[in-house]
């Protein structure tokens, strides 16, 4: 999909930031730095959403991921902090290599499929704004049942996490 777009500057910059931050998130020594780079990576994705004309989604991404999930992650990191310094986190080198192979193969094959399917997709993004006021009606009129299911999911997750985290005496 992206291969057909002429490399324009925002795209390149956002890609670099997001990917570098994603790598940092997994490779940094200190878990806190990992969480911060994860946040940066999420903000990069939000930038993509803005450039794809979905500003509300970008705000949702920042508020939910960076505002809430990262806070939760930070807090959990501080809860499970060990007193002795972290040992080397990498697995054995053969496992690392295997992981790289799998991931690389997958990424390359998906990119290949995208490249093959690329010509059949429209190459220019649509012009003109999508009014964000469309979101509400679509949400409420077309998808009311998922909304109810989501309510159940949210309450289930809330109670489940609470019961899990509770201290048993």
Partner 1 sequence: MPFESGQVPQGEARKRVVMQYYPYLLMFVVFDVVGMFLFAWGMSFADIPAADSFFVLLFLFLLGAPLGYALKMALNRENW
Partner 2 sequence: MVNLPTTPADILPFIIAVVTSHTFITIVIFPGLIHLIVVVMFLTWYERKLLARIQLRIGPLYAGGLGGILQPIADGMKLIFKEVMIPYKADKPLFLGIPLALVFLGALPFAVIPFGQHWVIANLDVGLVFVFAVASLFPSMILIFAWASNSKYPFLGGLRSLFQQVAYEIPMWISTLSVVMLAGSLNLVQIVNAQQKMWFIGPAFLSFVVFFIASMAELERLPFDLPSAEPELVAGWFTESSGAIFMVIFLALYMKLYLMSSLITVLFLGGWWGPAFLPQPVWFLLKALVVATLIIIPRGVYARLRVDLLIKVGWTRLLVIALANVFITVALLSTGVLSAWGL
Partner 3 sequence: MSAALLGIGIYGLSVKRNAIRILFAVELIVNAANLNFVAFARYMNPSEVTGQVIVFYSIAAAAMEAAVGLALILVAFRLNSTIDVRKLNKLKG
Q: Which tokens sit at 33?
A: 């730095």
Q: Does 95 bind partner 3 (CB under 8 A)?
A: yes
Segment 19 to 48, residues that bind partner 3, using CB under 8 A? 19, 22-23, 25-26, 31, 34-35, 38, 41-42, 45, 48
**Alpha-carbon span 164 to 157, nearest angstrom:** 10
Q: Does 137 bind partner 1 (CB under 8 A)?
A: yes
Q: Does 164 bind partner 3 (CB under 8 A)?
A: yes
DSSP label at residue 119? G
Q: Does 100 bind partner 1 (CB under 8 A)?
A: no
Task: Please enumerate in sequence order all residues whose Cβ is within 8 A of that of 77, keeping only pairs 6 or more positions apart, or say none.
Answer: 31, 32, 35
* String of DSSP letters for 34-103: HHHHHHHHHHHHHHHHHHTT-HHHHHHHIIIIIIIIHHHHHHHHHHS--SSPP------HHHHHHHHHHH
Segment 81 to 140, residues that bind partner 2, using CB under 8 A? 131-133
CB 116, min distance to partner 3, A = 13
Tell me which stretch binds partner 2 (CB under 8 A): 2-10, 15-23, 67-75, 146-154.
Answer: 67-75
Could you tell me how many helices (H) and strands (E) the chain has, helices first?
7, 0
**Alpha-carbon span 112 to 42, nearest angstrom:** 25
Positions in the binding site for partner 1 (CB under 8 A): 56, 59-60, 63-64, 67-69, 71-72, 75, 78-81, 83, 132-137, 139-141, 144, 147-148, 150-152, 154-155, 157-159, 161-162, 165-167, 169
Positions in the binding site for partner 2 (CB under 8 A): 32, 36, 39, 55-56, 59-60, 62-63, 66-68, 70-71, 74-75, 78, 131-133
């Amino acid at each position: 999909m992206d291969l057909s777009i002429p490399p324009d500057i925002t795209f390149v910059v956002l890609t670099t930031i997001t990917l570098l931050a994603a790598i940092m998130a997994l490779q940094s020594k200190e878990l806190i730095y990992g969480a911060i780079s994860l946040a940066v990576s999420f903000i990069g994705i939000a930038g993509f959403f803005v450039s794809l004309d979905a500003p509300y989604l970008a705000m949702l991404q920042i508020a939910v991921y960076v505002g809430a999930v990262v806070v939760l992650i930070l807090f959990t990191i501080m809860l499970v902090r060990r007193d002795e310094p972290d040992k080397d986190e990498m697995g054995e080198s053969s496992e690392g290599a295997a992981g790289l192979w799998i991931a690389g193969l997958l990424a390359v094959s998906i990119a290949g499929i995208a490249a093959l399917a690329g010509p059949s997709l429209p190459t220019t993004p649509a012009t003109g704004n999508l009014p964000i006021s469309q979101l509400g009606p679509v949400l409420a009129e077309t998808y009311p049942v998922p909304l109810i299911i989501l309510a159940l999911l949210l309450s289930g997750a809330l109670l489940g996490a609470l019961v899990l985290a509770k201290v048993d005496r």
